[in-house]
Amino acid sequence: MEYLISTASIQRSYERRTGRRAEVREIATLANGEREARQTFEDFGRDLGEALRDNCTIFQPDCIVLGGGIARSVRLFLPAAEKVMEGLPIRICISALGSYAPLIGAGVHWRNAYWR
């Protein structure tokens, strides 16, 4: 799954289309005017939607929260992911905490486990 839905997968897809290697942030910026960059994110969204559909319907979550750096590019891939998941009662939400979520989660865990 990591092969299909990761930073590296976006970079590979873009490089396959253009012959150029770029960071995801740069590809996202290029998506404003470059068809290949836009298509790279749309394919990523479709792959993400399929992975979520195939793996999360078993657990029946109400919401799947996306965070981290990739969430900054959500406008480029979320419509494709949502289209794949159409008809499922699962929402895709973006973390309000952004890239701070893991740090905050670790702090809360430490507080709950060790603070008395």
pLDDT digits (tens, 9 = 90+) for 63-78: 998 888 888 899 999 9
CATH topology of domain 7-114: Nucleotidyltransferase; domain 5 (3.30.420)
HSE-up (13 A, CA, CB side) for residue 54: 7
- DSSP lists the bridge partners of residue 94 as 66
pTM of the model: 0.83
- DSSP conformation class of 99: G
Confidence of residue 20 (pLDDT cuts 50, 70, 90): very high
Q: How many CB atoms lie within 10 A of CB 74?
A: 17
Phi-psi group of 67: left, alpha or beta (phi > 0 → left; psi -120 to 50 → alpha; rest → beta): beta
Domain spans, the chain: 7-114
Give alpha helix (H) positions in 19-84.
24-30, 35-56, 74-84
pLDDT tens per residue across span 85-114: 999 999 999 988 877 888 888 899 999 998
